[in-house]
């Protein structure tokens, strides 16, 4: 039987989230702020919705998928490539921010344990917001973007350790040394066992079946979710949090060659569940609080925005990066994270602090995320202002970045070939022989393995994949696919990006449609074959010249 109140509540939450997200987009605010605002409207402001256990379950699923997605980012190659600056900056930022946040919370009147939990929660910066802003502005290859991503990866690893720590404390029922030590040993031992088993499976068991599944994007997607929730289920028997299981499951699949395609496929599903999570978080916020409560929230938000900015910029500047790189890297990390809310929720469940502290962090998140995002949008004008005022001089940053001041190279002026069939391989080979840089795209990893140049695994219909392929900076896109809807979509996106394209026209009845979308060259094998046949027959004298 359908639970009509639950369906109605979910429908209202999704509608409100969509409406507020559109409004936030118009004023360049992140969707997380929109979701929290939608929750505030539905909950404390109007009382339209109360969060039920079923809604909490959906929100928890969103957190699991978020941790799974973060785990998919942590391939060993990426971890090795983080570099000294990310490890040093990330570790130092965590230590200094925890100490600063803890001291500030004590000054504001919090008890020792709640102050420590809040201080830790203020440490994390939002992976979702930072990565989205970097991708939208095409800054992922720039120095400050790489530093920010590196610091976030260090924070993510710290999150997993904390989640394990909270699991090991066993709900805070007893703080006797023997009980706590036993719980921690069990939790960290269980995590080590699970991580070793999952990584062993990734190396010796998962590669072949997932390679087979990768030929069908839908099968790969379902198998990855199956693996994720299988590991999440295993955490129940080890008394670990499901978030740890999801993160470890993501790490195991991150070692496979198609993890980037999995990220693109999981993200839209995660976005839905995360929207429910943040809307439900907004519904449960308390606004009918005293002025002292609001004042404390404003002070903590100021610490998150200004304090974290000073800490990160000081550390990065000490590592000999230029003031602009230090400034932009620090500005990206001036907000609380989605993980802050997860950690606080676990802290409340474990009895380390009460719901009022969680409500305060909600206000801090709403303020800091809004201020940080607006500052990032207007970062260039803000930087020009503070530089003119001499603000950056106090950090004594370097004049050039350690690598010579040039940002990491990315694809530009390249040719994208979609479809590594016989025609695609022939065209890609000839283009490379002429000195062109070619990027090959296909859904079949075996076909891509035959190509020696750069490749991308995934469905060419995905806008995220074309963004990863650098479509807007490409010289040309060639599609050798026999799939008319995909070819039509590629032609449309090329026209929108201002990039010429050459499309394989399988059905001659679709020529007009492709020509209407400004396709520069139509690959028509039948017509081209007849032309070459006529030329050859004329050369041999069988047809009049």
CA 420 to CA 403: how far, in whole Å? 36
In a domain, 242, yes or no: yes
Q: Is residue 140 helix, strand or coil? A: coil
In a domain, 353, yes or no: yes
Q: Domain with 346 in it: what CATH number?
A: 1.20.1530.20
CA 428 to CA 437: how far, in whole Å? 9
Q: Are residues 140 and 213 in the same domain?
A: yes
pLDDT digits (tens, 9 = 90+) for 46-83: 888 887 888 888 888 888 888 788 788 777 666 665 56
pLDDT at 120: 92
Q: Are residues 375 and 421 in the same domain?
A: no
CA 210 to CA 277: how far, in whole Å? 30
pLDDT at 307: 92
In a domain, 403, yes or no: no
* CA neighbor of 336 nearest in space, from 379, 295, 358, 366: 366
CA 438 to CA 453: how far, in whole Å? 7
- Extract the residue ranges of the chain whose pLDDT is less than 50: 172-175, 404-408
Q: Domain with 495 in it: what CATH number?
A: 3.40.50.720
CA 117 to CA 151: how far, in whole Å? 20
pLDDT at 334: 92
* CA neighbor of 422 nearest in space, from 437, 399, 442, 393: 442
Q: Which residue has the tokens 């955490």?
A: 235
Q: Are residues 446 and 371 in the same domain?
A: no
To 5 degrees, how large is the angle CA 487–CA 490–CA 491? 85
Q: Are residues 208 and 137 in the same domain?
A: yes
Q: What are the DSSP calls for 504-520, one per residue?
A: E--SGGGHHHHHHTT-S
CA 265 to CA 460: how far, in whole Å? 12
Q: Are residues 23 and 83 in the same domain?
A: yes
Give the dihedral of Cα atoms 490, 491, 494, 496; nearest 10 deg: -110
Question: What is the chain's Cα-based Rg?
Answer: 26
Domain extent for 234: 9-47+59-393
CA 125 to CA 84: how far, in whole Å? 19
Q: Is residue 339 helix, strand or coil? A: helix
CA 431 to CA 417: how far, in whole Å? 10
Both tokens of residue 470? 């650098």
Describe the chain by its helix, strand, coil percentages, rounded to 5: 70, 5, 25
In a domain, 362, yes or no: yes
pLDDT digits (tens, 9 = 90+) for 442-498: 988 888 888 888 998 888 888 878 888 889 889 999 999 988 888 889 999 999 999
Q: Are residues 253 and 337 in the same domain?
A: yes
Q: Are residues 136 and 13 in the same domain?
A: yes
Q: What are the DSSP calls for 69-109, one per residue?
A: HHHHT--HHHHHHTHHHHHHHHHHHHHHHHHHHHHHHHHTT
In a domain, 424, yes or no: yes
Q: Are residues 97 and 188 in the same domain?
A: yes
pLDDT at 168: 66
Residue 506: burial class (beta carbons within 10 Å; 0-12, 13-18, 19+): middle
For residue 354, the tally of other CB atoms under 10 A from its CB is 11
CA 93 to CA 319: how far, in whole Å? 13
Q: Is residue 139 helix, strand or coil? A: coil
Q: Are residues 230 and 360 in the same domain?
A: yes
Q: Are residues 350 and 430 in the same domain?
A: no
In a domain, 52, yes or no: no
Q: In DSSP terms, which residues pair with 456 in a beta bridge?
A: 441
For residue 43, the tally of other CB atoms under 10 A from its CB is 22
Domain boundary among 362, 393, 424: 393
- Contact indicator for 141, 409 with CB cutoff of 8 Å: yes
pLDDT at 140: 67
Give the dihedral of Cα atoms 210, 213, 219, 224; nearest 10 deg: 0
Q: Are residues 372 and 430 in the same domain?
A: no
- Residue 227: CA atoms inside 13 Å, Cβ hemisphere, count? 30
Q: How many distinct structural domains can be found in the chain?
A: 2
pLDDT at 405: 43
In a domain, 399, yes or no: no
Q: Are residues 385 and 499 in the same domain?
A: no
In a domain, 446, yes or no: yes
CA 164 to CA 158: how far, in whole Å? 10
Considering the entire predicted model, what is its pTM?
0.74
Q: Is residue 29 helix, strand or coil? A: coil
Q: Is residue 276 helix, strand or coil? A: helix
């Amino acid at each position: 039987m359908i639970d009509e109140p639950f369906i109605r509540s979910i429908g209202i939450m999704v509608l409100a989230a969509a409406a507020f997200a559109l409004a936030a987009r118009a004023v360049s605010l992140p969707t997380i702020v929109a979701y929290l605002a939608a929750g505030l409207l539905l909950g404390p402001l109007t009382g339209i919705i109360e969060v039920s256990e079923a809604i909490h379950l959906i929100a928890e699923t969103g957190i699991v998928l978020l941790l799974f997605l973060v785990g998919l980012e942590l391939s060993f190659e990426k971890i090795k490539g983080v570099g000294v600056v990310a490890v040093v900056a990330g570790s130092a930022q965590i230590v200094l921010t925890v100490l600063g946040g803890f001291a500030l919370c004590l000054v504001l009147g919090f008890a020792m344990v709640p102050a420590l939990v809040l201080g830790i929660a203020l440490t994390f910066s939002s992976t979702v917001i930072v990565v989205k802003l970097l991708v939208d502005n095409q800054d992922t290859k720039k120095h400050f973007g790489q530093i920010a991503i590196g610091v976030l990866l260090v924070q993510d690893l710290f999150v997993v350790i904390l989640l394990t720590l909270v699991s090991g404390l066993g709900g805070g029922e007893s703080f006797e040394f023997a009980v706590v030590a036993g719980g921690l040993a069990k939790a960290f031992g269980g995590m080590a066992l699970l991580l070793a088993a999952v990584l062993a499976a990734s190396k010796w068991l998962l590669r072949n079946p997932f390679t087979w599944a990768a030929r069908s994007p839908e099968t790969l997607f379902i198998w990855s979710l199956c693996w994720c929730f299988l590991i999440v289920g295993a955490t129940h028997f080890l008394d670990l949090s499901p978030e740890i299981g999801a993160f470890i499951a993501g790490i195991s699949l991150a070692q496979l060659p198609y993890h980037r395609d999995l990220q693109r496929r999981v993200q839209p599903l995660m976005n839905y569940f995360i929207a429910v999570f943040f809307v439900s978080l907004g519904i449960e916020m308390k606004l009918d609080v005293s002025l002292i409560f609001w004042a404390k929230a404003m002070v903590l938000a100021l610490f998150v925005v200004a304090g974290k900015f000073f800490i990160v910029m000081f550390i990065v500047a000490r590592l000999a990066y230029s003031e602009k790189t230090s400034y932009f890297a620090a500005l990206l990390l001036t907000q609380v994270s989605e993980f802050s809310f997860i950690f606080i929720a676990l802290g409340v469940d474990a009895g380390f602090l009460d719901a009022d502290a969680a409500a305060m962090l909600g206000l801090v998140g709403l303020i800091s995320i809004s201020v940080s995002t607006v500052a990032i949008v207007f970062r260039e004008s803000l930087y020009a202002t503070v530089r003119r005022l001499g603000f950056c001089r106090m950090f004594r940053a370097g004049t050039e970045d350690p690598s010579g001041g040039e940002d990491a190279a990315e694809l530009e002026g390249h040719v994208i070939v979609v479809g590594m069939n016989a025609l695609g391989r022939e065209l890609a080979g000839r283009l490379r022989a002429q000195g062109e840089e070619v990027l090959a795209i296909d859904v079949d990893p075996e076909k891509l393995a035959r190509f020696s140049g750069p490749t991308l695994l995934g469905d060419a219909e995905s806008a995220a994949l074309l963004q990863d392929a650098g479509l807007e900076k490409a010289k040309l896109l060639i599609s050798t696919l026999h799939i008319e809807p995909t070819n039509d979509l590629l032609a449309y996106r090329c026209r929108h990006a201002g990039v010429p394209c050459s499309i394989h026209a399988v059905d001659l009845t679709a020529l007009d449609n492709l020509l209407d979308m400004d396709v520069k060259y139509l690959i028509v094998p039948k017509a081209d074959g007849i032309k070459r046949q006529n030329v050859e027959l004329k050369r041999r004298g069988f047809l009049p010249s």
